[in-house]
């Protein structure tokens, strides 16, 4: 990495931390005994701080050198089909985790292929919400004592605070995307 890029990265991180700490350039300059102009040039990657100056800035911004220079892993945005995790039960029902790392997130999407005359996921009441979109076939959603029929191109959304499950009482297989928050599958 060339020096100009390093200076821009350092400046960007200093600006982010300054904003995160709700400091103006003048307030940071006062704390580090630097000028507002120097802070501005530094944040814009126009100057390279000395090691001593950089360490003083890092300390005043409430972080450590190791945290300051740690490179954040780039968040994965697109997931390929060959990375999906699939589980097929003894009845032939397929559940694909279409975001394989979703357990660490706030919601978990799955792709379900539910064979005819089958039911899945009998859940006791729990915290959270659930959403689904029917790609093909039809399903029934059981929420406590209530039953809802859902067909292709329709969606469902409910709070998970009662016993619930999904069934496919029909002959034709059903395929749907099901998203739960927090992850429960």
Structural domains of the chain, ranges and CATH numbers in brackets: 3-69 (1.10.260.40), 81-181 (2.60.120.10)
Dihedral angle over CA of 113, 115, 121, 122, nearest 10: 160
Cβ atoms of residues 132 and 156 within 8 Å: yes
Beta-carbon contacts of residue 17 (< 8 Å; ≥ 6 apart): 61, 62, 63, 68
pLDDT tens-digit readout, 20-56: 888 899 999 998 899 999 999 999 999 999 999 999 9
Sort strands 164-168 and 118-123 into parallel, antiparallel or unpaired. antiparallel
Distances from the Cα of 154 to the Cα of 1, 68, 121, 150, angstroms: 51, 47, 20, 6
pLDDT tens-digit readout, 94-147: 999 898 777 777 888 999 999 999 988 777 888 889 999 999 999 999 999 999
Report the C-alpha gap between 111 and 149 in whole angstroms. 19
Report the C-alpha gap between 114 and 94 in whole angstroms. 7
Whole-structure pTM value = 0.60
């Amino acid at each position: 990495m060339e020096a100009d890029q390093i200076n821009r990265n350092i400046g960007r991180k200093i600006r982010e931390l300054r904003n995160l700490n709700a400091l103006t350039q003048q307030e940071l300059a006062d704390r580090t005994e630097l000028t507002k102009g120097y802070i501005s040039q530094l944040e814009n990657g126009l100057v390279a701080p000395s090691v001593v100056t950089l360490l003083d800035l890092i300390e005043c911004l409430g972080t450590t050198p190791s945290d300051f220079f740690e490179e954040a892993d780039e968040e994965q945005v697109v997931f390929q089909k060959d990375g999906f995790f699939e589980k097929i039960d003894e009845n032939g029902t397929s559940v694909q985790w279409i975001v394989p790392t979703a357990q660490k997130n706030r919601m978990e999407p799955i792709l379900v292929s539910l064979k005819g005359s089958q039911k899945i996921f009998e859940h006791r009441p729990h915290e959270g919400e659930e959403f689904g979109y029917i790609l093909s076939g039809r399903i029934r959603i059981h929420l406590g004592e209530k039953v809802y029929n859902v067909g292709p191109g329709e969606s469902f959304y409910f709070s998970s605070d009662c016993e619930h499950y999904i069934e496919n009482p029909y002959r034709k297989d059903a395929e749907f995307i099901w998203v739960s928050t927090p992850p429960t599958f």
